[in-house]
Structure 1
Amino acid sequence: MALRLVREGRHGAEGVFGGSYGWSSAGRFHHAQSQIHRFLNIALGGYVRSVNSYSAGASAVILPWILGPFEAMSRNNVTWSQIEAETDVVLAFGGMALKNSNVASGGVTTHIERGAMARAAARGCRFHLFSPLRDDFPPEAGAIWHPIRPGTDVAVMLGLCNTMLAEGLHDVEFLEQYCTGFDVFSAYLAGGEDGQPKTAEWASGISGVPAQSIVRLAREMTAGRSLVTVAHALQRARFGEQPVWAGAALAAMAGQIGLPGGGYNYALGTMGHTGRRINAVPIPTLLQGRNGVSNFIPVARISDMLLNPGETYHYDGREMTYPDIRLVYWAGGNPFHHQDLNRLRSALARPQTIIVLPATMTLEREDIGAAGTDPRLIAMRRLAPAVGMSRDDYAIFADLSRLMGSEDAFTEGRDAREWLAHLYEPTRMALAERGWDAPDFESFWERGELTLPSAPDDGGMLRAFRQNPQSAHLPTPSGRIEIFSRTIADFGYDDCPGHPVWLAPDEVPNEAAPLVLIANQPSTRLHSQLDFGAYSQSSKVRGREPARLNPQDAAQQGIRDGDIVRIFNGRGACLAGAVLRDGVMAGIVNLSTGAWFDPLDVGDGSLGCGHGNPNILTRDIGTSKLAQGCCGQVTVVEVSRYDGELPPVRAYDPPSTELATVRTA
């Protein structure tokens, strides 16, 4: 057995990468990431793990240095109830698309965002959208759209900061009492470091946002209760740490961090977890055990790891070494969902063994559905029998543990149903201790759901810090908001210096690739899940993923609505269906992620995709040496009408047991 050979061989657990991205189930027990990590920890003593996420690779690293933990800044901060009652103006960099806030790991049982935006707008709250895509806000918000060139949000933020500074609108008292390093940042705004004051006019020339709009917004956000938000999209690109940091600095200059409905909330509206009250009791959680392997990688660096064993790289102030991975065990996600798929293809050819076994889907097993910000605990009953040879991950790992002599430690003598009752018990006990409704497991299962009480809407860590900065100081090196970070400055990273700065994109439109591709999240599915389903299929164009273009760009290429187009650059090419929309800024093509990869031979030894997967085009490079996050949100491409014979989409065909051959188109 490959796992036993690894455990007993010279590479040991340090040669195993435990791959899982965790989205495969809303259930708390059959959560593939927890299951595989528990198995590898118990059976092998550990594994090389990944940290952070593709969604928030840069923000999860920068936020603890400047404000506090990612979860506290995104989930336990400003709520939609506060916005409804208190907020006068919202500056949403990257927007708040409902397609994003409609989903969350663990599930969402009540969607509140659309109604909250409508009620806030009716009260007079003004939403401002900075995005190349107009529908990154729902119409109920009545948002004012500021079309902005991708990757230039930091310039606009700096222009707003400079305007506040020049007009004396910044909150000097707040900056002195709650922040550190503003003197360094203000000198940069004035042009002290590079000779270029970061004026509204300067920002306008970079971003395309009119200078008068920037000046007006700086005045507006300091005249009432204002909130700055930054979407995941902005930090899924080169130098992605900068918009997260610059947004926090902008909110600090306005002096409203910690006020109800004001200040800064990272990623509000990005997922269903944000803007809600957290639960007052714990939700069921499967313990994963202790990992005896210390090495890890930032999650988006998997190709680098497999292609470059033994090489060093920088991450969060440390010099790290890529491990020599001989076995990859992947569960609970698509291992072929990453940037630059041709490079990933080469990387996945390096390990001696890759294990991916057929597992059941959510509807084929029993589980408990819960999320830390959702007020319902759900009894998830099996609705369909397992298909083919698929089995629950737990059953697979239990059998593997038996073969490896660790069954008792892994299962603890419980079958799946007994585990559900065991994991439910801490939640029941916490409810009972507070005198709330706390039925036993069988009663809960019979009932089908249980209401979980919410904790007070207290503004979390930032509110407590504002109310008492001495006793409730932030967990940053200084205990304050770090507009300038001595720690990060001492790392010496040229791509992430010690305060927010403008770093021009290092991949820009050119003669060969004149358009900017935005590979955002789709509106008809979660990532690539159920892409074969009727709802996802309803958006396809002649079976291909829709690619949205501005009519002006389409006309230049003779492209009409409904045409099949070829999208390409130096990394690859794909086929997609043209959809013309004036809500897409000129110079942009929007091709969402998640179309199942359908390989095509493009004639140069590399693969393309006949179905419209944008990751055949995106760059596999880190955001910076600090975070090494994912840069899959934007790249540059060319688009042309495809007039050749249209190959069939075979992405949904069952796998063949024979050696596959790559077709040509």
Structure 2
Amino acid sequence: MATTPYLTSSSHWGAFEARTVDGGLEVRPHPADPDPSPILGNVASAVDPQVRILRPAVREGWLRDGPGPSEGRGREPYVEVEWDELIALLAGELRRVYAERGPRGVFGGSYGWASAGRFHHAQSQLKRFLTCLGGYVSAVGNYSYGATAVIMPHVVGRGVDVTSGLTDWPVIREHTELVVAFGGIPRKNTGVNPGGVVRHTAGEHLRAAVEEGVDVVTVSPLRSDSPGTTWLPVRPASDVAMMLGLMHTLISEDRHDPAFLARYCVGGHELTAYVTGRSDGVAKSAEWAAQRCDVPAAEIRALARRMAASRTLVTVTWSLQRTEHGEQAPWAGLALAAVLGQIGLPGRGFGHGYGSMADVGVPGAGVRVPTLPQGVNPVSEFIPVARVADMLLNPGAPFEFNGQALRYPDVGLVYWAGGNPFHHHQDLNRLRRALATVDTLVVHEPFWTAMARHADIVVPVTTPLERLDIGASRTDRHLVPMHRVVEPVGQARDDHAVLAELAGVLGVGEQFTEGRTADEWVRHLYDTWTGPVGERLGVELPAFDDFLASPLLTLPAPPADRTFLDRFRADPDAHPLQTPSGRIELYSATIAGFGYDDCPGHPTWLEPQEWLGSPLAARWPLHLIANQPRGRLHSQLDAGAESRRHKVAGREAMTMHPDDAAERGIAHGDVVRLFNDRGACLAGARLDDGVRRGVVQLPTGAWFDPVGDTGLCAHGNPNVLTRDHGTSRLGQGTSGQHALVQVERYEGEPPPVQAHRPPEFVERAGE
């Protein structure tokens, strides 16, 4: 048996060691990780040639007819070509588009999850390359917390990080008595972090907090989101109504803190007038809230009283802002904490994202990690990241975003590297129509994902296992040497090598590479990073070769004693927030001035179009929650062993309450069809009374597997069902967490799952 030594590497779900054994890959957690993620079980599949793109390929219709809009994307076979021809075709098309349309005709549509490595970061590589060519239309924000990223700077200022600068877990363990967790604190998400994490500690802290007496009240339709014993199975999309009901009890029973509202906030008067009904004639009482959230009014009042009498932390998951009017949940959660008056006190106040990412509540080293310079993009046109289909379907159409009146650019070429929008985006049948409108779609991918299958030019690229890099997270305190564990699979090349060759052909090679190879760039990034960081931290950092020879580099740990907004609490005049008032803006005159009816000037209950309280529920009686999967990160390595372990009947598992299943004649393990007006998908049924009645849960990330032009996904991707609509005109974030659907048992022989198989290949016409 041929065996190589273990080498270190890293992923977004943790550092690990890997070696080849008789041609296969053996992976084990990094010895420094006390609580490794089970998702490491997928890593070995990254080198499986059955799911890899082995050679450059071009869609047959594009090769035959040339660039132009085409319904053939995602439907036509591919012709495999040699690298020289692919480079020539791609360089020629880039020349044509830049000459005819200029840089505003190119969309640099990468998304940043391809690698935990800091140099071989596909998004950075692509943006640097396109900047060298003259620029590109960019995307701003993210799918994870796009609404939060826009609303919270208006509320607490740009200098406050409400996604990773929150109260540390040790402080919660020591000082908190009660956590009221809207959306719960789902431990499954704490294994993941952009750039990876060496020591997974969030889950350990959460378990210890509960064991040490911190009471966690979970407000969620899913019991699995709860780490504690108290579960309030709220009606989905009604969290804001419940928050307002809690505020009403606090105010009406004089259990709130008017002094805190007056000293540290603006808008307390407007918020109180709305909650009590003075401004609109509708008191947001516990009874009013109960009608919407389906939690008894007595329980709402009892919880409000407990919150006022306890050292209370109010936390809101990121999932709650991935819905229509998603800006309201974090804003209302912060307002609830402000009404209690506990913001800035140890273990109390507000949190956003506990259970959404590994680094929330876990301090890092406080230094920037090595990054590849991208240059300055001279093109000012952009879109919010979740509005890509809108842009492609409506070139020149107006849209609003965060107070700006903008227009969608007219894009002819989409260049995608490092992401799979058929995971992140909504209404996938609409996305397919949108992708059909452009002249050319270029995709860099290691795997035959749905995005690769819709590309005109398919560029096979390596995985992190096939190249040298530095693994690092913006909030971790470790750097991991990422070694080249295996040789490139098939004819794959790394993104940098492909773009460097293209840059050379297009006359910007020296500008792009600066005369360095990929490995020389990795060394350069490390060497230029160590000096300033070592000086700032007062430590001597190892030379690059010594770093490569080590299992990891550990930076000094800061004290784990952060409390959210504690300096502001201690002296708001000396430490004002970067808001117009310098205070927490419970009412924002800026937002009110935008005139958005879907995002008013203070936290507001806005009924969503799709929820169990809407008229649509008579037709579509089940509320779908499309949350993050347990067995993988997003759609990455969906063919891996851990991802497959969570599937049912070879398809993504849909979980529903046994009583809802019985009404439909559905048994555990059945293949079921979920459907609405936008599309349908097949899934394997799993029954669990930990899902609220009227709710079904289907994780995101199953590789999209369309069955012809029927609108059906055979594999269970819920984004054929979700609505492609911005959270509001303010944030324009994704609203893909929720949708109304119906579910039925699938009768007959279901279509086979083809998602992990390569597409059809044909010979070039005339050969």
Alignment of 1:254-273 (within 5 A): 254-273=340-359
Alpha carbons 1:515, 1:638 under 8 Å: kept:
yes
In the aligned structure 1, how far is the partner of 2:462 from the partner of 2:625? 33
In the aligned structure 2, how far is the partner of 1:143 from the partner of 1:306? 47
In the aligned structure 1, how far is the partner of 2:683 from the partner of 2:648? 7
Change (3 A) 1:273 1:212: same
Q: 1:323 aligned to 2:414?
A: no
Q: 1:374 aligned to 2:476?
A: yes
Aligned position for 1:662: none
Aligned position for 1:505: 608
In the aligned structure 2, how far is the partner of 1:238 from the partner of 1:263? 25
Aligned position for 1:579: 686
1:572 deviates by: 0.5
Q: 1:5 aligned to 2:103?
A: no
Change (3 A) 1:426 1:83: farther
Aligned letter for 2:513? T
**1:646 is matched with which residue: 750, 755, 758?**
750
Aligned position for 2:570: 467
Q: 1:195 aligned to 2:299?
A: no
In the aligned structure 1, how far is the partner of 2:564 from the partner of 2:487? 46
User: SS of the counterpart of 1:58?
Assistant: helix
Alignment of 1:119-158 (within 5 A): 119-138=208-227, 142-158=228-244
Which structure 1 segments of 5+ residues have no match? 660-665
1:56 deviates by: 0.8
Q: 1:622 aligned to 2:726?
A: yes
In the aligned structure 1, how far is the partner of 2:290 from the partner of 2:762? 57
1:432 deviates by: 3.1
Change (3 A) 1:252 1:475: same
Alpha carbons 1:251, 1:264 under 8 Å: kept:
yes
1:223 deviates by: 1.7
1:426 deviates by: 4.1
Aligned position for 2:26: none
User: SS of the counterpart of 2:146?
Assistant: coil
**1:363 is matched with which residue: 439, 461, 465?**
465
1:70 deviates by: 8.5
**2:741 is matched with which residue: 632, 637, 641?**
637
The more displaced of 487-496 and 95-104 is 95-104
1:194 deviates by: 2.4
The more displaced of 625-634 and 467-476 is 467-476
**1:32 is matched with which residue: 122, 125, 129?**
122
Q: 1:214 aligned to 2:300?
A: yes
Change (3 A) 1:204 1:170: same
Q: 1:307 aligned to 2:393?
A: yes
User: SS of the counterpart of 2:386?
Assistant: helix
Q: 1:347 aligned to 2:434?
A: yes
1:364 deviates by: 1.3
Aligned position for 2:144: 55
Alpha carbons 2:366, 2:475 under 8 Å: kept:
no
Alpha carbons 2:171, 2:562 under 8 Å: kept:
no
User: SS of the counterpart of 1:513?
Assistant: coil
**2:106 is matched with which residue: 16, 24, 34?**
16
**If the length of structure 2 is used for normalisation, what is the TM-score?**
0.83
User: 1:521-567 CA deviation, whole Å, 9 max, x = no partner?
Assistant: 00000011111011111111111110001001000001000011011
Aligned letter for 1:354? L
User: SS of the counterpart of 1:72?
Assistant: coil
Alpha carbons 1:431, 1:437 under 8 Å: kept:
no
In the aligned structure 2, how far is the partner of 1:150 from the partner of 1:384? 46
Which structure 2 segments of 5+ residues have no match? 1-91, 444-458
User: SS of the counterpart of 1:453?
Assistant: coil
1:437 deviates by: 4.2
Change (3 A) 1:255 1:550: same
Alpha carbons 1:59, 1:70 under 8 Å: kept:
no
Q: Alignment identity in percent? A: 53
User: SS of the counterpart of 2:682?
Assistant: strand
CA RMSD of the aligned region, Å?
1.5
User: 1:433-470 CA deviation, whole Å, 9 max, x = no partner?
Assistant: 24324111110111131101233445377222112211
Q: 1:521 aligned to 2:647?
A: no
Alpha carbons 1:185, 1:484 under 8 Å: kept:
yes
In the aligned structure 2, how far is the partner of 1:326 from the partner of 1:594? 28
Aligned letter for 1:188? Y
**If the length of structure 1 is used for normalisation, what is the TM-score?**
0.96
Alignment of 1:564-575 (within 5 A): 564-575=671-682
User: SS of the counterpart of 1:599?
Assistant: coil
Aligned letter for 2:695? I
Alpha carbons 2:680, 2:720 under 8 Å: kept:
yes
1:161 deviates by: 0.6
In the aligned structure 1, how far is the partner of 2:664 from the partner of 2:129? 53
Alpha carbons 2:168, 2:561 under 8 Å: kept:
no
Aligned letter for 2:547? F
In the aligned structure 1, how far is the partner of 2:539 from the partner of 2:214? 37
Q: 1:444 aligned to 2:551?
A: no
**2:371 is matched with which residue: 257, 261, 285?**
285
Aligned position for 1:84: 173
1:261 deviates by: 1.5
1:156 deviates by: 0.6
1:118 deviates by: 2.4
Q: 1:476 aligned to 2:579?
A: yes
Alpha carbons 1:513, 1:569 under 8 Å: kept:
yes
User: 1:624-656 CA deviation, whole Å, 9 max, x = no partner?
Assistant: 111111011000000000111122111111122
In the aligned structure 2, how far is the partner of 1:149 from the partner of 1:8? 54
Alpha carbons 2:159, 2:577 under 8 Å: kept:
no
In the aligned structure 2, how far is the partner of 1:518 from the partner of 1:552? 18
Aligned letter for 1:312? P
**1:562 is matched with which residue: 664, 669, 672?**
669
Aligned position for 1:663: none
Q: 1:534 aligned to 2:641?
A: yes
In the aligned structure 1, how far is the partner of 2:559 from the partner of 2:530? 20
User: 1:110-138 CA deviation, whole Å, 9 max, x = no partner?
Assistant: 12122212222233211011110001134
In the aligned structure 2, how far is the partner of 1:474 from the partner of 1:219? 30
Aligned letter for 2:589? R
Aligned position for 1:496: 599
**1:224 is matched with which residue: 285, 310, 317?**
310
Aligned letter for 1:222? A
1:164 deviates by: 0.8
User: SS of the counterpart of 1:574?
Assistant: strand
User: SS of the counterpart of 2:313?
Assistant: strand
Q: 1:486 aligned to 2:575?
A: no
User: SS of the counterpart of 1:521?
Assistant: coil
Change (3 A) 1:181 1:71: closer
In the aligned structure 2, how far is the partner of 1:68 from the partner of 1:278? 22
